[in-house]
């Protein structure tokens, strides 16, 4: 089996004549679109059809060029040519800002947009996209102002975000007489030795003294820029902007959060049970949240992983099973860690090829197999979208983790069901609960913290001590007595990059949404069996052409109903009950 992926379906190399030809064609199309947008005259139907045609061509070429360069760089971060090409391509695409703003204004000015949409099949196909343009126009400023804002953001929120990234990636961490980095020290939270986990936690907290004031300035500056931009554009708040860009109702978020609040004490039970198992009586110290439990040390090869996943999903859906087999057989996956390769795992869709590419750092543990299942879920989501127009594949964050988390739940639950040894079974359940605890308690704490930051920022500059106070308050509300109050983490606002974006606020609740939405779908699958699968695939396809609530309605789910979220959380509550009982044994 291959160790690395193949990108030949895109280009053979940077010197492939097709690469140069596509880049030249992209230049020509961008210029043509700018000229078109400067003089949009004629029948609205004809204008919109030409705009869509040009956009589709630009998106197709740009996605192919960007994919080749970015994927090449992800397996070789020292690839300077890739970095140069990505910079060049970004510069080309920035030339679309003014003409696209002009198009937004044109669409907004159409009094009978629905009538125009109904007049031609191509426009009807892109109804959701066009209606969103008209809706977004309410919050779009003039082309000149938009250009000025984009220029100032370079030395504003973008620069402050870069500062946070630079400081957290370069701050020296003193540990056991040596100097290491923040990424390595945080990874020691998974070390099997409790003394190592505690020492790493203490070293991590100590290192933040070096950078906390500068990072506090970053956070304050970014959040104030977001507030001012929202005011200029007419959004009620940063949360309002996030919900609108996610095509999600506030009622859905309220139902989700209300259900989470009800079930928080159940997760506190899980943490207290784990604490006692590890020898703690006052709740779980923060540095023990990721402590591994003994019990499952089986190792897997990539062939084992393929066999396991193909066999498992053959009982769910043949179409997904065939795609999983293709991913292994046709070099869609780059498996192993090596120098110069990025960490973690991701899936990237090749929009023009109806394929995906998956990067992992496979180490042979069950967790690595589950990671493959997760990323292959993203690939299947991409596969279900393949017949959609490129402009109908823009999936919002809340539903982006649906298929991946669904796959993860299927794979993990199968592993638990097959395990007969009680110690090993307990370890597997705890591993799943550990992840669930992150999307419930941790995400809830992040949501509370960011809410309080936005509430305070307009009238108050929050120095580091104040931000630590807000973070501790959020953690106490989210984790309750599940965590030892003497060992919390006041600096989680420093190390989490999710807070440091001028364009993506509240980058937290979508994780809770995705994790619980997928579990709710899994519960329906267990109840309805084979009849659920076609609806599931139809739902995934619909995520690019409807709202979050509209996609859920395909499967007969009302996301504004708190009972749906309760049903998802109850699945986890039942697992917590079993874990607590196994801890007693």
- CATH code of the domain covering residue 544: 3.40.390
Let me know if 433 is exposed, middle or buried by CB neighbors in 10 A (0-12, 13-18, 19+). Answer: buried
Rounded to 5 degrees, φ, ψ at 175 are: -150, 120
Strand positions, DSSP E, 55-195: 173-175, 178-180
Per-residue pLDDT tens over the stretch 18-59: 999 999 999 999 999 999 999 998 999 999 999 999 999 999
Answer with the one of 92, 109, 139 that is the final residue of a domain: 139
Flag whether 330 is in a domain.
yes
Which two structure tokens, joined as six digits, stand for 235? 């959004």
Find the helix packing angle between 143-155 and 157-170, rounded to 10°. 20
Long-range contacts of 84-91 (CB under 8 A, 24+ apart): 85/14, 89/23, 89/26, 89/62, 89/65
Strand positions, DSSP E, 134-210: 173-175, 178-180
What 3-state class would DSSP assign to 521? Answer: helix
Let me know if 395 is exposed, middle or buried by CB neighbors in 10 A (0-12, 13-18, 19+). Answer: buried
DSSP-derived letter for residue 304 is H
Flag whether 490 is in a domain.
no
Q: Are 500 and 453 in contact (CB under 8 A)?
A: no
Q: Are 286 and 472 in contact (CB under 8 A)?
A: no
What is the structure's pLDDT at 296? Answer: 66
Flag whether 539 is in a domain.
yes
What is the structure's pLDDT at 365? Answer: 85
- What CA–CA distance (Å, rounded) separates 526 from 529? 6
Flag whether 195 is in a domain.
no
Strand positions, DSSP E, 421-531: none
Which two structure tokens, joined as six digits, stand for 147? 């250009």
SS (H, E, C) 396-443: CHHHHCHHHHHHHHHHHHHHHHHCCCHHHHHHHHHHHHHHHHHHHHHH
Q: Which residue has the tokens 């990067």?
A: 359
Flag whether 503 is in a domain.
no
**316-343 CB burial, b ≥16 within 10 A, e <16:** bbeebbebbeebbeebbbbbeeeeeeee
- What CA–CA distance (Å, rounded) separates 381 from 378? 5
Answer with the one of 121, 139, 157 that is the final residue of a domain: 139
Question: Domain tally for the chain?
Answer: 2
The enclosing domain of 68 has a CATH number of 1.20.140
- What CA–CA distance (Å, rounded) separates 11 from 64? 9
* Domain interval for residue 50: 17-139
In 3D, which of 558, 474, 463 has the Cα closest to residue 219? Answer: 463
Q: Are 462 and 288 in contact (CB under 8 A)?
A: no
Flag whether 395 is in a domain.
yes
DSSP-derived letter for residue 173 is E
**526-561 CB burial, b ≥16 within 10 A, e <16:** eeeeeebbebbbebbbbbbbbbbbebbebbebebbe
**CB-CB neighbours of 114 under 10 Å:** 13
| Distances 78 to 72, 75, 85, 174 between C-alpha atoms, Å | 10, 9, 13, 27
Sites in the chain below the pLDDT cut of 70: 296
Flag whether 29 is in a domain.
yes
**CB-CB neighbours of 414 under 10 Å:** 17
Answer with the one of 114, 139, 164 that is the final residue of a domain: 139
Q: Which residue has the tokens 């505690």?
A: 198
Flag whether 193 is in a domain.
no
Per-residue pLDDT tens over the stretch 131-141: 999 998 889 88
C-alpha neighbours within 13 Å on the C-beta side of residue 435 = 17
What is the structure's pLDDT at 17? Answer: 97
What is the structure's pLDDT at 267? Answer: 98
In 3D, which of 75, 53, 63, 15 has the Cα closest to residue 333? Answer: 75
Which two structure tokens, joined as six digits, stand for 364? 């042979």
């Amino acid at each position: 089996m291959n160790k690395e992926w193949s990108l030949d379906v895109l280009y053979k190399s940077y010197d492939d004549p097709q690469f140069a030809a596509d880049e030249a064609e992209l230049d020509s199309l961008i210029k043509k679109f700018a000229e078109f947008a400067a003089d949009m005259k004629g029948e609205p139907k004809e204008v919109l059809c030409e705009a869509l045609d040009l956009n589709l061509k630009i998106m197709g070429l740009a996605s192919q060029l960007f994919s080749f360069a970015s994927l090449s760089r992800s397996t070789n971060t020292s690839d300077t040519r890739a970095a140069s090409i990505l910079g060049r391509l970004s510069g080309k695409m920035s030339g679309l800002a003014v003409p696209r703003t002009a198009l937004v204004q044109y669409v907004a000015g159409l009094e009978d947009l629905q009538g125009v949409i109904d007049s031609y099949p191509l426009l009807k196909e892109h109804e959701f996209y066009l209606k969103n343009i008209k809706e977004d126009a309410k919050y779009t400023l003039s082309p000149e102002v938009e250009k000025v804002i984009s220029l100032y953001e370079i030395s504003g929120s973008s620069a402050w975000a870069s500062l946070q990234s630079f400081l957290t990636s370069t701050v020296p961490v003193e540990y056991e007489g040596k100097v290491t980095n923040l990424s390595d020290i945080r990874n020691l939270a998974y070390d099997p030795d409790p003394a190592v986990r505690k020492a790493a936690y203490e070293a991590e907290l100590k290192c933040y003294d070096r950078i906390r004031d500068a990072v506090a300035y970053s956070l304050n500056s970014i959040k104030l820029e977001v507030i001012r931009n929202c005011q200029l554009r007419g959004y009620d708040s940063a949360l309002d902007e996030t919900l609108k860009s996610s095509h999600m109702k506030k009622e859905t978020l309220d139902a989700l959060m209300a259900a989470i609040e009800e079930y928080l004490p159940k997760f506190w039970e899980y943490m207290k049970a784990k604490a006692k198992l590890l020898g703690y009586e006052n709740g779980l110290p923060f540095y023990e949240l990721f402590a591994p439990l003994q019990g499952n040390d089986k190792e897997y090869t990539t062939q084992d992983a393929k066999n396991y996943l193909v066999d498992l999903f053959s009982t769910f859906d043949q179409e997904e099973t065939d795609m999983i087999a293709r991913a292994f057989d046709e070099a869609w996956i780059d498996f192993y860690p090596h120098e110069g390769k990025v960490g973690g795992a991701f899936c990237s869709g090749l929009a023009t090829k109806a394929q995906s590419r998956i990067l992992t750092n496979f180490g042979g543990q069950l967790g690595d197999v589950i990671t493959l299942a997760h990323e292959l879920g993203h690939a299947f989501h991409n596969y279900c979208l393949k017949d959609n127009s490129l402009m109908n594949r823009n999936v919002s964050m809340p539903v982006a983790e649906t298929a991946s988390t669904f796959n993860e739940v299927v794979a993990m639950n199968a592993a638990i069901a097959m395990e007969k040894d009680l110690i090993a079974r307990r370890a597997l359940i705890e591993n799943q609960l550990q992840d669930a605890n992150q999307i419930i308690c941790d995400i809830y704490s992040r949501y509370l913290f960011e809410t309080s930051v936005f509430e305070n920022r307009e009238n108050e500059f929050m120095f580091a001590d104040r931000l630590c106070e807000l973070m501790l308050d959020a953690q106490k509300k989210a984790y309750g007595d599940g965590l030892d109050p003497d060992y919390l983490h006041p600096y989680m606002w420093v190390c989490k990059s999710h807070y440091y974006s001028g364009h993506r606020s509240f980058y937290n609740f979508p994780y809770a949404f995705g994790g619980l939405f997928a579990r709710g779908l899994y519960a329906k699958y267990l109840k309805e069996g084979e009849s659920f699968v076609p609806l599931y695939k139809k739902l995934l396809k619909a995520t690019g052409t409807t709202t979050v609530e509209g996609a859920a309605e395909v499967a007969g789910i009302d996301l504004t109903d708190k009972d749906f979220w309760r049903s998802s959380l109850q699945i986890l509550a039942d697992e917590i009950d079993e874990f607590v009982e196994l801890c007693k044994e």
